[in-house]
Amino acid sequence: MSDTATHATDHASEAGHHSSTGLSNNKLAMWLFLGSECLLFGGLISTYMLYRGRVSDGPHPSQIYDIPFTSVSSFVLLMSSLTMVLAVTSAQRKDDSRTTLWLTVTALLGATFIGGQVYEFTTFYREGLGFTTSLFSSSFYSLTGFHGVHVSVGVIMLLATTGIIKKNKVTGNKAEVVELVGLYWHFVDIVWIVIFTLIYLIPS
């Protein structure tokens, strides 16, 4: 292992990497990935914006959205970002038990959000908004569905990270792993910040 002297001068990236930029490979990769995801969700959001008024059949957006309910689940997701940050700071402090605690809480909040989405989708479906009912419905379900899948993958990653930390099988820098999962999780949150405003709060 490298000696502490060289480590101390290289604190720019916690993981102790040496690279041309001084930055971590994994972090660069994650930010690039998130940059590209902006274009993915942008496409789905644009499709929705184009088609939200095209209701050949079934309910209109204004008839179907339950703003109070969605506000609560939006709040839940937002708070999960806070618990995620607390998990990251715990990991940076090398406090494994705190880290796994906050990771679990974040996963629970995320699962609650997903539960809310499932409830919302089933309610909409019962009220006549199926996937293929209209362009509005297809666009709505595609966009929020994609987001929901991203959240679900995030929940799996949070739980998996918790398990891997508990079993002490982390390959690589533990704090960085948590940080990377955190970046993904926050991204999923900011996409929802956009979706909540553009899709729910601003009526067509």
Partner 1 sequence: MAIIERPTTELAPTVVVTPSQSLGALKRPVETTGWKEWLVTVDHKKIGIMYGAVAMLFFIVGGVEALFIRLQLALPDGRILSADKYNQMFTMHATTMVFLFAMPMAAAFANYFLPLQIGARDVAFPRLNALSFWLFLTGGVILNASWFLGGAADGGWFMYAPNSGPVFSPSNGVDFWIIGLQIAGIASLIGSINLIVTVLNMRAPGMTLMKMPVFTWMILVVQFLLVFSLPVITVALVLLMFQRSYGATFFDVSQGADPLLWQHLFWIFGHPEVYVLILPGFGIISEVLPTFSRKPLFGYPFVVFSGASIGLVGFGVWAHHMFASGLGPVSVAVFSISTMAIAIPTGVKIFNWLLTMWGGKIWFSTAMKFAVGLVVMFTIGGLSGVTHSVAPSDTQQTDTYYIVAHFHYVLFGGMVFGLFSGFYYWWPKVFGKMLNEKLGSWNFWFMVIGMNLTFGPMHILGLQGQPRRMYVWTEARGGSGLFTFGFWNMVSSIGSFILSVGILFFLINIVITARKGKQAPADPWDARTLEWLTTNPPKAHNFDRIPVVHHLDEFFHRKYEEDPATHTMTQVASGESLIRLEEENAETHIHMPSPSYWPLVLAIGIGVLGLGVIYGTPIMVVGGLTVLLGTFGWVLEPSTAEASDFETPSDDGHTKEIAPLV
Partner 2 sequence: MSTATEAHNDAHEHGMSDAGYIKIALILAAITALEVSTYYVDFGPLFMPSLLIMMVIKFVMVVSYFMHLKFESRIFSFLFYTGLGLALFVYFVALATFKFFIA
**Contact residues: partner 1, CB under 8 A:** 1-3, 6, 10, 15-21, 23, 25-26, 28-29, 32-33, 35-37, 39-40, 43-44, 47, 50-51, 54, 56, 131-132, 134-135, 138-139, 142, 146, 160, 164, 169, 171-173, 176-177, 180
Q: Which of 92, 104, 138, 152 binds partner 2 (CB under 8 A)?
A: 92
Q: Is 106 exposed, middle or buried (0-12, 13-18, 19+ CB in 10 A)?
A: buried
What single DSSP character describes residue 198? I
Residue 22 or 172 with smaller CB distance to partner 2: 22
CB-based contacts of 121: which residues, under 8 Å, 6+ apart? 141, 144
Biggest CA pair distance of the chain: 69
The structure tokens 């789905």 sit at 44
What, of partner 2, partner 1, none, does residue 62 touch, CB below 5 to 8 Å by kind? none
Q: Is 152 in the site for partner 2 (CB under 8 A)?
A: no
Count of residues that interact with partner 2, criterion CB under 8 A: 51
Measured CA to CA, the distance from residue 143 to residue 194 in angstroms comes to 12
H helix and E strand count, the chain: 7, 0
Q: Is 3 exposed, middle or buried (0-12, 13-18, 19+ CB in 10 A)?
A: exposed
Q: Is 153 in the site for partner 2 (CB under 8 A)?
A: no
Measured CA to CA, the distance from residue 19 to residue 171 in angstroms comes to 19
Closest separation in Å from C-beta 130 to partner 2: 25
Q: Is 28 in the site for partner 2 (CB under 8 A)?
A: yes
Q: Which residues bind partner 2 (CB under 8 A)?
A: 11-12, 21-23, 27-28, 31-32, 34-39, 41-43, 45-46, 49-50, 67-68, 71, 74-75, 78-79, 81-82, 84-86, 89, 92-94, 182-183, 186-187, 189-190, 193-194, 196-198, 201-202
